[in-house]
Amino acid sequence: MTAIAVTIAGSDSGGGAGIQADLKTFSALGVYGASVLTALTAQNTRGVFAIHDVPPDFVRAQMDAVFSDLAVDAVKIGMLATPAVIDAVAAGLEAHGQRQVVLDPVMIAASGDPLLRDDAVDTLRRRLMPLALLVTPNLPEAARLLDGPIAETRADMAAQAAALLALGPRAVLVKGGHGTGAESADLLLDADGQLWLTAPRHATTNTHGTGCTLSSAIAAELARGRQLREAVAEAKAYVTAAIRAADDLTVGHGHGPVHHFHAWWDAGSIPG
C-alpha cells in the first residue's frame, strides 16, 4: 500500500516552510503527500508581508474531498490563524476519524512575524490538542500555550511538557532548538515517560521551516508504519541533516530554508 500523509497548513510563497516544506519532506521520505490549505502568505526568506485566511467552509471542503477518497495514514497540522479555521479542522478530523495527528502549534515565523492570532490560542488548546497524537511546540510556543515563561533548563522543559500533556494530547515533544548550548535537546513525553533526543547544534542562519519540516517528517514516518518514538527519532535525524546541509543552498537574502533533499541532490551540482 502507498503510504499517504496529509498536511493541513498555510502556504509559504517562498517555498521554505508551510505546505511547501511539508510536501517536500513527505516526498524526501517516500510518502505521498496531499494538502489542505488554511491560509495564503506573501512570504520570503526575509519575512511575512501579508496573510490571506482561507474561509473555514472551504478548509472543511478540502478535508472532506481528501479524506473521503484517500486512505490517509497520518496528518500534520501547521498554521491555523483563526478560531473558526481551528474549529473547522477539528470538526473535520472528528468526522473522518483521524487518530495519527501531529499538531505543530505554529505561532511565529522564523522572521519573527506572528502567524497565530491571540484569540486563536485558547481554541487551539481546547479543540485541537485533545485530538492530537503528538503536539510539537518549540520553547516560545510551549510558553505561550501555557501562558508562562520560556523554559531555560531541562527541568523547565519537563514541567512544561507535563502541563501540555495534561491538556489532552497523547504525547508532547518540546523542541529545544531555541535554547543555548552545544547540543539541541528535545523532550518527548508520552505514556512511557520521558525520552530526550539530542543532536549537536549547527551554526547557521538558514533554519527557515525547521519546525514544519520536523513535524511533517514525524507524520511521514508514522504514515510508513513506525511507532511514535521511532518516528520522532528518525525525524530528528532527518531534520538535523537538513540543517547541516542548509548552507549548500543559496536561496534568498534572509533566513534561508533547510535542505529537504540533502540526501538526493549532489551539492556540487546545485546552482549558486
Tell me which residues are annotated as active site: 175, 207, 209-212
Cell of 32: 505521498
3-state secondary structure of 106: coil
Query: Whose CA is closest to 257, among 241, 243, 271, 237?
Result: 243
Ramachandran quadrant class, 195 (left: phi over 0; alpha: psi -120 to 50; beta: rest): beta
3-state secondary structure of 252: coil
d(CA 257, CA 270): 14
d(CA 53, CA 120): 13
Cell of 208: 527557515
How buried is residue 3: exposed, middle or buried, by Cβ count under 10 Å (0-12/13-18/19+)? buried
Q: Per DSSP, what are the bridge partners of residue 172?
A: 135, 189
